Structure 1
Amino acid sequence: MEWTGEALLIGVRRHGESGVIAEAMVAGRGRCLGLVRGGRSTRLAATLQPGNIVQLTWRARLEDHLGTFTIELLRGRAAELITDRKRLYLSQLVCEHLHLLPERDPHDRLLGMAIDLIDHAPDGAALARFELALLDELGFGLDLESCAATGVTEDLTHVSPKSGRAVSRAAAEPYKDRLLPLPSFLHARGNASPDDIRAALHLTAHFLRQHVWQARDVDPPTVREPLIDMLSKV
């Protein structure tokens, strides 16, 4: 069996004496893994960097086998990222988030958002939207369209930490200390202040921790908190 596709490289790990297992997000195919023979050679070092856009050809005898990758660099980002710590941390975080997706399950919306995040100036609001989309595609999406208590769609200011549903200002008032703040840019148009960005990423972290990190017994990405500090500075 064989296929060829353009992909975002999201991870590489050693395999044997000279090979690596490469992990990539492929349009229409999702998160795919393959063995790259000789992947630890100096010739392939610049190509096999997470964040790069590559052309992959996957081959295997059977569809459920690991298979092998033949890989060609289309766009290298290492030189750009190494000089910009925010972009470097953002690229690392996005790649770690994509590791959470099930193997060989297409998630083209997230792939497009990930590439936009890595390609453009670091944007905390865009990162928060990406994490909301990640939760949604993992099956734990938040409902920010209407108030859980009253059904109104205006003046939504909080989120229930249990249900993930929005709550209006009036309904939230007696329970504010138990609810999570909902920055308005997540459900309505508008700019995001540094405080809004921090609140939004605190919101997504709560549900990632509740439904994903703790459930899978994995630690949150180590670059996430330093990146939030950078993105939420005035």
Structure 2
Amino acid sequence: MEWTGEALLIGVRRHGETSVIAEAMVAGRGRYSGLIRGGRSPRLAATLQPGNTIQLTWRARLEDHLGTFTVELLHARAAGLIADRKRLYLAQTVCEHLHLLPERDPHDRLLGMALDLIDHDPDAVAFARFELALLDELGFGLDLESCAATGVTENLTHVSPKSGRAVSRAAAEPYKDRLLPLPSFLHARGNASPDDLRNAFRLTGHFLDMHVWHARQIDPPPTREPLIELLTRS
């Protein structure tokens, strides 16, 4: 079996003395892993950097085999990322988030959002929306359209930390200390203050921890908190 496609490289790990196993998000195919023979050679060092866009050819005898990759560099980003700490942390965190997706299940919307984030100046609002979309595509999307208690669609100010549903200002009042603040920019147009951004990342972090990190007994990306600190400075 064989296919060729464009992909975002999201991870590389050693395999044996000279090879690596690369992991990539492939348009139309999702997260794929493959063996690259000779992947630790100097010739491939610049190509096999997470954050680069590559052309992949995957070959295997059967569909469920790991298979092998041959790669060609299409868009080198690594040097530019290393020169900008904020962009580097953003790219690393985005790649770590993409590791959470089920293997070989297309997620082209999320891949497009990831590429937009990596290719532009770091955008805190866009990154918060990316984390919301990640939760949605993992099957744990938040319901921010109407109040869980009353059904109203206006003045939504909080989110239940258990159900992930929005709560209106009036309904939230007696329980504010037990609810998560809902920044308005996540469900309506508007600007985002540093406090709004911190509340947005507190919200997405809570549900990522509840449904993914804690549930799978894995650590959050080590670059996420330093990135948030950089993105939310006044």
Q: Secondary structure at the match of 1:102?
A: coil
Q: Which residue of 2 aligns with 1:53?
A: 53
Say what the alpha-carbon RMSD is for the aligned residues: 0.4
Corresponding letter in the other structure for 1:89 = Y
Corresponding letter in the other structure for 2:155 = D
Alignment of 1:1-234 (within 5 A): 1-234=1-234
TM superposition shift of 1:191: 1.2
Q: Which runs of 5+ in 1 are unaligned?
A: none
**Cα distance between partner residues in 1 of 2:124 and 2:210:** 21
**Cα distance between partner residues in 1 of 2:155 and 2:135:** 23
**Cα distance between partner residues in 2 of 1:147 and 1:4:** 46
**Cα distance between partner residues in 1 of 2:80 and 2:195:** 28
**Cα distance between partner residues in 2 of 1:122 and 1:194:** 14
TM superposition shift of 1:212: 0.3
**Cα distance between partner residues in 1 of 2:225 and 2:156:** 26
**Cα distance between partner residues in 2 of 1:191 and 1:67:** 47
**Cα distance between partner residues in 1 of 2:50 and 2:78:** 8
Q: Secondary structure at the match of 2:185?
A: helix
**Cα distance between partner residues in 2 of 1:37 and 1:210:** 38
TM superposition shift of 1:53: 0.3
TM-superposition CA deviations, 1:42-85 (whole Å, max 9, x none): 00000000000000000001110000000000000011101100
Aligned length: 234
**Cα distance between partner residues in 1 of 2:3 and 2:192:** 42
**Cα distance between partner residues in 2 of 1:121 and 1:196:** 20
**Cα distance between partner residues in 1 of 2:193 and 2:180:** 17
TM-score (norm 2): 0.99
TM superposition shift of 1:194: 1.1
**Cα distance between partner residues in 2 of 1:125 and 1:9:** 24
**Cα distance between partner residues in 2 of 1:13 and 1:124:** 29
**Cα distance between partner residues in 1 of 2:221 and 2:10:** 14
Corresponding letter in the other structure for 2:35 = L
Corresponding letter in the other structure for 2:123 = D
**Cα distance between partner residues in 2 of 1:123 and 1:194:** 12
Corresponding letter in the other structure for 1:119 = D
Corresponding letter in the other structure for 2:177 = D
Which stretches of structure 1, 4 residues or more, deviate above 2 A after TM superposition? none
TM-superposition CA deviations, 1:96-153 (whole Å, max 9, x none): 0000001000000000000001011111111110011000010100000000000000
